[in-house]
Amino acid sequence: MRSDRRRDRRRKFAEGEEKGFGLKNTLYIAGTILALGIIAFFVTVIVYNNSLDKLYSDLETQEIGEVTENTGNENILEEASATLGKTVDEMINETTEISAENEEVQETVVKEDTSNTETVKETNTEEKNEETKSEETKNEEVKEETKENVEEVKEPSFSAPVEGEVQKEYAVDKLVYSETLKEWVTHTGIDIKAEKTTVVKAAEEGTVTAIKNDPRYGITVIIEHSGGYETRYANLLTAEFVTVGEKVTKGQTIGTVGDTGAFEILDEPHLHFELLKDGEYQDPTSIIK
């Protein structure tokens, strides 16, 4: 038993020594390769630096030779210098001339702009003046039209169609007694006392819109006036002085006083006169001047 154990130990030890020897060999080989690589790198760097130094030395020698060669030829340098100086002077002169030309162009442009601006201002001023005149003309026309409209809308001034006293007053909100009808009735106008055949005149200028024989108030002339007014002249003897559609002037004869009104036949001779505003009866005595 003991001998077997000893043999096993010897065998394992031999195997370990073989493994250790193999590992050591591997490490030695790797280190040798690494050392050789480092040595090759440094050798390469040294050779490269020597080549660069030689190249720089050759370039400097060549530049010094060229400079020496150029220095020996003074005439060439002087000519080049003179040419260069001349060229610079010419460039300076040309630059000065160009600057002067640019200034002249700028002055010309400024003058043109100024003239154009003045022209535009004058044109605008003329246009504004024309517009102002046009507006003034329009305003004058509007004023004239307004005056005409005011004159057209101006309230008419009525005068008495005949001279005489009022024998029966206006009565719409109250009643008056009728001798003919023998009862109290309304009265939509006024009765102005006047002799038969007395001339009846237009109370205001206007247009004759109707001439009719009213069954209540007899022969009647109706005149339309501005401002929505209308006058009616009734109980006339005749109305041959005017025609329908005729424009009459204030004070123009339109008929004569008569007795053709059936509802007022028993009253003294008179003119039955009515005044309306926008279709509504008005008291003539409050308007007649």
Read off the pLDDT of residues 215-246 as tens digits, 9 standing for 90 and up.
999 999 999 999 999 999 999 999 999 999 99
Reported confidence tier of residue 38, pLDDT bands at 50, 70, 90: confident
pLDDT for 124 = 63
What would the pLDDT profile of 80-105 be if each residue is shown by its tens digit? 344 444 444 555 555 556 556 656 64
Tell me how crowded residue 135 is: count the other CB atoms within 10 A of its CB.
10
Q: CB–CB of 235/217 below 8 Å?
A: yes
Tell me how crowded residue 83 is: count the other CB atoms within 10 A of its CB.
10
Task: Measure the CA–CA gap between 156 and 135, rounded to whole angstroms.
Answer: 33
3-class SS of residue 241: coil
Least confident of 59-63, 175-179, 283-287: 59-63
pLDDT for 220 = 98
What domains are there in the chain, each with its CATH number? 166-286 (2.70.70.10)
What would the pLDDT profile of 113-136 be if each residue is shown by its tens digit? 555 556 545 666 666 667 766 677
Q: CB–CB of 256/201 below 8 Å?
A: no
pLDDT for 287 = 87
Between the CA of residue 31 and those of 35, 44, 181, what are the distances in Å? 6, 20, 162
**How far from chain centre, in Å, is Cα 40?**
91
0.75 cut: is pTM over it? Answer: no
Task: Measure the CA–CA gap between 240 and 254, rounded to whole angstroms.
Answer: 8
- Say how many CA atoms lie within 13 Å of 221 toward its Cβ: 31
Q: CB–CB of 223/254 below 8 Å?
A: yes
Phi and psi for 8 in degrees, rounded to 5?
A: -65, -40
